[in-house]
Homo-oligomer: A and B are copies of this chain.
Amino acid sequence: MKIYFDCLQCFVRQTLDAVRLFTADEKVHEKVLRYMFNEVGNMDFYQSPPEIAQRIHRTIRELLNDNDPYRSIKDSSNRMAMNLFPELEKRIEQSNNPFELALRYAIAGNIIDFGVHSRIEESLVHETLYRAEQDYISPESIEDFKHAVDKADNIVYLGDNCGEIVFDRLLLEQLPHGKITYVVRGKPIINDVTMADARFAGITELVKVIDNGSDAPGTVPEDCSPEFIDLFNNADLIIAKGQGNYESLSTVDKNIYFVFMAKCKVVAQDIGCEVGSFVLKSNSFEIIKST
Give me the interface of A with B, judged by CB distance under 8 Å.
Answer: 5-6, 8-10, 12-13, 16, 26, 29-30, 33-38, 40-42, 45
Contacts and interface: CB of A to CB of B under 8 A. Distances in A.
Contacts of A6: 13, 16
A9 B13 contact: yes
Contacts of A36: 41
Contacts of A40: 37
A5 B34 contact: no
Contacts of A30: 5, 45
Contact of A8 (B33, B35, B45): B33
Given A38-B38, A38-B42, A41-B41, A33 B5 contact: yes
Contacts of A34: 41-42, 45
A41 B39 CA distance: 9
Contacts of A10: 9
A16 B37 CA distance: 15
Contacts of A12: 8-9, 12
Contacts of A45: 30, 33-34
Q: Which are the 8 A-B pairs with shortest beta-carbon distances?
A: A37-B41, A38-B41, A9-B12, A9-B9, A37-B40, A37-B37, A9-B13, A34-B41
A6 B26 CA distance: 12
A38 B40 CA distance: 8
A35 B40 CA distance: 10
B42 A29 contact: no
A27 to B, nearest CB: 11
Nearest to A26: B5
Contacts of A29: 5
Q: Which of A13, A16, A37 has most B Cβ within 10 Å? A: A37
A38 B8 CA distance: 13
8 contacts: A5-B30, A8-B16, A9-B12, A9-B16, A30-B45, A34-B45, A37-B40, A38-B38
Contacts of A26: 5
A11 to B, nearest CB: 9
A6 to B, nearest CB: 7
A182 to B, nearest CB: 34
Nearest to A30: B45
A186 to B, nearest CB: 28
